[in-house]
Amino acid sequence: MASAANQRSNVERAASALAELTHDHEVVVTHGNGPQAGLLALQAEAFPDVPPYPLDVLGAEGEGMVGHMLELALRNRLPERDVVSVLTEVIVAGDDPAFHKPSKPIGPVYTAEEAQRLRLDRGWTLGHDGEGYRRLVPSPEPNAIAEIRSLRVLVDSGAQVICGGGGIPIALNGDGTLHGVEAVIDEDLTAALLARRLDADALVLLTDVDAVYRDWGDPNQRPIGSANPAALRGMHFASGSMGPKVEAACRFAATTGRRAAIGSLTNVVRVARGEAGTQVVAPVAEPAIGAARRHPRR
C-alpha cells in the first residue's frame, strides 16, 4: 500500500538500521522514488484540466517526499548530527537508446484487464511484474550528478547526507543549458556513480532479500556469498529487480577495485562489514615491476 502511513513505517525501519551503521561508518544514504513518481502521476489525473506533469517534475516531488521522511526519521535517531536531504539532478544523454525502449517499472501493479485499458487509453508501455503489470518508462544511463561538488562539501563537513538514488533526469541543450527529460533513472546505477564520484570505500545496496541468489525461484536456488564482476555478469538476473543491483555492484567493484555488497536492510551492519549478503570484489591485478600499489582509504 502506498499510503503515507505505510511509507513512514517503512522509512522508520530503514532509518533504525541505517542509524546503527553510522556509528562506525561515514554513510551517504540514497533512495529510489519510482513508486512515488507513479503514484503522483495517478493522483494528477484527478485534475483533467491540468496538463500531466512530466516525469522529471514528478521525480523531484517523489524525491522530496522520501527525502523528507528519511531526514525526519534520521534526525530523531541522530540528534547530534546535521542531517541534510539534497534534491539530486542526474545528467543523461538526450539521445540515449533507452528513450526508445521503456524498461523501468514505476507506479502500482495492475491486472491484465487494467493494463490493456491503459495501453489503449494512454499509450503506456506495460510489462509483467509478478502476476500483474506495471508501467514501463525510459531508463537512460546516469552520466553525471549536477550537485556532486555540493555533496562533497556536505560530506566533508560531517553532515549526514541523503540524496536521491535515481535522481531527477536532466539533459544538456546545444547551448549548454539544461532541461528535464521524460524518464526515470535506475537508483542503483546512480548510487554506483555517486559512490565512485565521492571516492567511497564501499557501495552497499540494500533490498528485502538476504543475498543475490543463483537460479532464483527454482527449487535449487542458492545464495551467492561472494563473486567477482565477471562471474556475476555471466549469470542472468531479472532486469526489473536484482539485475540493476548486480550491475551497479559490478560497475563499482570493477572500476574502483573496492568492495560492493548486496543484502538485506535488516542486516545492513553485517552486510557492510562483509559478513553477510553477497560481496562483490574485483580480482586484484599484480602491479608491474616498480609500480606502487594503491590502497583504498579506510
Q: pLDDT digit string (tens) for 265-275?
A: 999 999 999 99
| AA identity, residue 203 | L
Which pairing describes strands 213-214 and 226-227: parallel, antiparallel, or unpaired? unpaired
Distance, CA of 252 to CA of 261 (rounded, Å): 10
Judge whether residue 298 has pLDDT over 50.
no
pLDDT digits (tens, 9 = 90+) for 135-173: 899 999 999 999 999 999 999 999 999 998 689 999 999
41-96 per-position pLDDT tens digit:
777 767 878 887 889 999 999 899 999 999 999 999 999 999 999 999 999 999 99
Do residues 232 and 281 touch, judged by C-beta distance below 8 A? no
pLDDT number for residue 264? 96
The residue among 207 and 44 whose pLDDT is bigger is 207
295 by Cβ neighbours in 10 Å (0-12 / 13-18 / 19+) ranks as exposed
Residue 1: the pLDDT is: 57
Contacts of 109 (CB under 8 A, 6+ apart): 129, 130, 132, 133, 134
| pTM of the model as a whole | 0.87
The answer to whether the beta carbons of residues 247 and 187 sit under 8 Å apart is no
Measured between alpha carbons, how far is residue 64 from residues 58, 60, 72 in Å? 10, 6, 12
Beta-bridged to residue 203, according to DSSP, are: 260
* Average pLDDT score over the chain: 89
The position carrying cell 565512485 is: 196
